[in-house]
Amino acid sequence: MILHRVAAQLRRQDWAAVLVELIVVVAGVFIGLQASNWNQQREIDEKAARFSESLKADLRAEAWGYEYQIQYYGNVLSNADRAANALTGKEPLSDEALLISAFRATQYNENIRRRATYDELTSTGSIGLIRDRVLRETAMSLYTTNNLSNIAQEGRTSLYRRAFRMAVPNEVQRSLEKGCGDRVPVVGDYRTNFKDAINYPCTTGLPEDTIAASAAILRSDPDLIPLLRLRIADLETNLGNLLVYEGDTHAALRDFATEQR
C-alpha cells in the first residue's frame, strides 16, 4: 500500500509527500526495532532476576552447610586432640572417655551440595546474567574450590579411621555409633544440633569389662598415635583452608544467610 502511494507520488513529483511517506516508514521500522529490543531486554532482565534469586537461595543453603562443616570438623579435631593426649599421657581420660573420643576422631560428614543454578549458568555461558558482583564472585569461588569435598574425602580415607575400625570389635563400634554417633542436624537451623554436632555428653552403654578391653586395644597399639597426629594435622589444614584461605567466601556466605534470617 505504501509503495503504491510512493510510486504515485513520484509520478506526480510530489516530493513533500514522498518525504513524509519515507519518514513514516523509517519511523515505523525504528519503533518496531525499539519495541523488539525492549521486549528482548525485559525477557533478559526477568531471566536474570530469576537466576539471581535462585542462586541466592542456593548460597543460603550452602552457607548453612559451610558453617556446619566448620563446626562439625572442629568437634572431630577436639576429640582427636583429646584421644592423642590421653594415649600419650598428657591428659588422663577414663577408658570410656578415651573410647568415645577415639571413635569420634574417626568421623566424617559431607553435605549435599546446592549447585544446580550455578552449573546451569556456567554450562550455558550465562553467568553474566548475575549482575551482582559479590553474588557472582562468591558463587564462583565456592563452586570452583574443593576444600569442602577435600575435608570429607580425607576423613573417609583416613588411615587413622581405618586403623580404629580394624582394631575395635564391631559390636563396640555399633554401640559407639548408637550412643555417641553423629546427631542428624536440622538443615538450615543454626540453633539446634549445630555447634555441638558430635560433642554432646554420651555413654556407650557397654559393660565395664568390654570398655576396658577396647581401651586396652587402643592404648597398646603403637601405630595409633602417629596416625592420630596425621589425622590432627590434616584436620587443621582443611579447617584452615575453610576459615582462612576461603575467608572472604565464608564472610560473604554469612552475609547471604543473614539476609534471610
| Domain of 127, in residue numbers | 61-260
Share of the chain above pLDDT 70, in %: 82
Of residues 252 and 165, the one with the higher pLDDT is 165
pLDDT for residue 95 is more than 50: yes
Q: Are residues 193 and 184 in contact, defined by beta-carbon separation less than 8 angstroms?
A: yes
What's the rounded mean pLDDT across residues 178-204?
83
How many domains does the chain contain in total?
Answer: 1
What's the rounded mean pLDDT across residues 249-260?
81
Reduced to 3 states (helix: H, G, I; strand: E, B; else coil), residue 127 is helix
Answer whether residue 37 is part of any domain: no
Answer whether residue 23 is part of any domain: no
Give the per-residue pLDDT at 10: 44
Give the per-residue pLDDT at 185: 80
Of residues 196 and 33, the one with the higher pLDDT is 196
CA distances from 208 to 31, 104, 213 (A): 88, 20, 9
Answer whether residue 35 is part of any domain: no
pLDDT for residue 5 is more than 60: no
Task: Work out the pLDDT band at 203, boundaries 50, 70, 90.
Answer: very high
Answer whether residue 17 is part of any domain: no
Answer whether residue 41 is part of any domain: no
**Taking the C-alpha atoms of 64, 66, 70 and 71 in order, what is their torsion angle to the nearest 10 degrees?**
10
Answer whether residue 1 is part of any domain: no
Task: Report the predicted TM-score, pTM, of the whole model to 2 decimal places.
Answer: 0.81
Please enumerate in sequence order all residues whose Cβ is within 8 A of that of 133, keeping only pairs 6 or more positions apart, or say none: none
Answer whether residue 49 is part of any domain: no
Give the per-residue pLDDT at 250: 86
Cite the DSSP H helix spans in the chain: 2-11, 15-87, 95-104, 116-123, 133-144, 147-156, 159-167, 170-180, 208-220, 224-240, 247-260
Give the per-residue pLDDT at 261: 44
What's the rounded mean pLDDT across residues 3-21?
53
Amino acid at site 40: Q
Q: For residue range 166-181, what is the model confidence (pLDDT) as tens digits?
A: 999 999 999 999 999 9
Give the per-residue pLDDT at 42: 80
Answer whether residue 208 is part of any domain: yes
